[in-house]
Structure 1
Amino acid sequence: MDGLLLIDKPPGITSHDAVDAVRRIAKTRRVGHAGTLDPFATGLLVIGINKGTKTLTGLVGLDKTYEATARLGATSTTDDPEGAITVRADCVRPDQDEVEAALKSFRSSYLQTAPAYSAKKVGGKKLYELARAGRAHEVELPKKTVTISELVILNYTWPNLHFRVSCSSGTYIRALARDIGEMLGVGAYLTELRRTNIGPYDLENAIRLSDLNTDTIGSHLIPV
């Protein structure tokens, strides 16, 4: 059994959990994925099985598309719903035009600061390890230039901003939500995230992890 498998990851599990599930069904240890999704996030995981794992390195760097929801008027220590939330009760609600202007400013390349709770390493330590130990203030958070090729409002009803974004590999969507909130002067954190595309691979062609079994896996394998 060799090839690529498009999985629709449910919320509440890690990308590694999804890989482990595929390993059990495919009865092989040679399984990997082309891009992590946080546990609260859902959507497309491209998983390689046996010879398919050799193609994953080339897929990791592909552009990705997401649909996401940011909660304006509040911040999170992790920039997502997993952290401690602080509501800014006295902020001025931006109107649709102001939100659109803020999004427009990100439709290009910009220098993005990694979230304090992330797997980025500084001095050999992962940032989330330092943050959990109360030592995040001891290091400078790494920055990376990312490219946002599409960023459009799907719906805006205060305090929720639902948007679609296409971006370069390595972009943190929760950091983008945080930065949009800072641009608007109200703060923001990511509440929902769903990946819909990795390069040419589309979520519409993915199978839900709950539907994957020894009978269905063969018909969903993409030859490599």
Structure 2
Amino acid sequence: MFGFLNCNKPAGFSSRDLVNVIQRRLRGKKVKLGHCGTLDPLADGVLVVAVGPASRLVPFVHETSKQYHGSFRLAAESPTGDVEFEPTLFEDHPIPSLEQIESACREFTGSIEQIPPAYSAIKIDGRRAYDLAREGQQVEVPPRTVTIHSLSVIRYAYPDFELSITCSTGTYIRTLGIDIAKSLGTTAVMTNLCRTRVGEFKLAQSHHIDMIREQPLEEMLLPAITGVTHLPKMIVDAEQCQRLINGLSLEDRQHQLPTDPIPKHAAAVRADGILQAIIAPKRGTWTPKRVFKT
């Protein structure tokens, strides 16, 4: 098996829980699995699971943008930034207008700096930040730079508002909503989160947990190329495929790849659409970085 499963993770499941369901379906088979971006247990939506050799493509899937639908409640605060704990409500906080929220969203579009929440899966000295936080330890998570490609208000009826977000990997939607609220002189908690897209993997085409438990996984498996459609593509013939399998570099004789700027990676694809390798530039040629002997 070589490809990706586009799964619809239900709320209440951890990302690992869903991977374990697939692992049990494959019991007795030596098939490696890896998911492409953790979703909190309280969140639902697209969780992409790499199957077999496609697990080596996970870092490249991380390069793609993600879309979310997030719901927030203003004038509320909790230790986790969501409703895992009962929020504290503040009746004396200012009530922002829709125009003010939309203006704040514009300020948070583009390259921004975030401090991820203490209750997050980030590792601090080898341990998950949320484990340290639950032990009552003071957790200092270093800031990170993320990109918000687009950010818009879908609905606002005080104290609740909903956002549509397109962002880079590593963005904490909880933190984004809280930071927007703080810029308006109040606070917020995230009440719901749904991931609607990861790269080419969309919620509308995802598979629910019952389907994953009951139906043949092979029928749901998407080609490995689906995870790297953002990379430039070089069509390779049989001779070039053999060179890649042997670890030898290629020349871009037909000038299929851009040169200004030269991409860090490209996808070497057979004429039948099967991904043969991920290649990288080296001294005027393209050398194999991940080779798939399909």
> Which residues of 2 match residues 47-62 of structure 1 at below 5 A?
47-62=49-64
Give, in angstroms, the shift of residue 129 of structure 1.
Answer: 2.3
Task: Tell me how far 1:108 sits from its aligned partner.
Answer: 1.4
Distance 1:126 1:4 in 2: 27
Determine the C-alpha separation between the residues in 2 that align with 1:16 and 1:133. Answer: 22
Please list, as runs of the form range in 1=range in 2, the aligned pairs for 1:1-224 lying within 5 A after superposition: 1-27=1-27, 28=29, 30-136=32-138, 139-224=139-224
Secondary structure of 2:170 counterpart: coil
CA deviations over 1:31-79 (Å, ceiling 9, x no partner): 2110000001000011111122122221123211100101111011111
Letter of the 1:85 counterpart = P
Q: 1:129 to 1:212 in 2, by over 3 A?
A: closer
Measure how far apart 1:215 and its partner are: 3.2
- C-alpha separation between the residues in 1 aligned to 2:14 and 2:84? 13
* In 2, Cα distance between equivalents of 1:5 and 1:122: 30
Change (3 A) 1:89 1:201: same
State the structure with bigger RCO (CA 8 A, min sep 6), 1 or 2: 1
The structural deviation recorded for 1:3 is 1.6
Structure 2: 5+ residue stretches without partners? 225-294
Give the % identical residues. 36
Distance 1:6 1:124 in 2: 30
The runs of at least 4 aligned residues of structure 1 exceeding 4 Å deviation read none
Larger deviation, residues 12-21 vs 182-191: 182-191
Using a 3 Å threshold, how does the CA distance of structure 1 residues 206 and 101 change in structure 2: closer, same or farther? same
Q: State the AA in 2 paired with 1:38.
A: D
Choose 1 or 2 for highest CA Rg. Answer: 2
2:118, 2:85 → 1: CA distance? 11
Contact 1:77-1:84 at 8 Å conserved across structures: no
Deviations 1:106-165 (A, max 9, x none): 0111110110111223333332222112221xx533100111110001111111111100
**Letter paired with 1:173:** I
Aligned AA (1:95): S
Verify the 8 A CA contact 1:26 1:214 in the aligned structure 2. Answer: no
Query: Cα RMSD between the aligned structures?
Result: 1.5
CA separation in 2, counterparts of 1:213 and 1:116? 34
In the alignment, is the contact (CA less than 8 A) between 2:152 and 2:163 conserved in 1?
yes
More deviation in 19-28 or 8-17? 19-28
Q: TM-score, length-normalised on structure 2?
A: 0.72
How far apart, in 2, do the equivalents of 1:118 and 1:213 lie? Answer: 28
What amino acid is the match of 1:172? Y
Moved more, 172-181 or 81-90: 81-90
- Count matched residues: 222
**Offset, 1:80:** 1.2
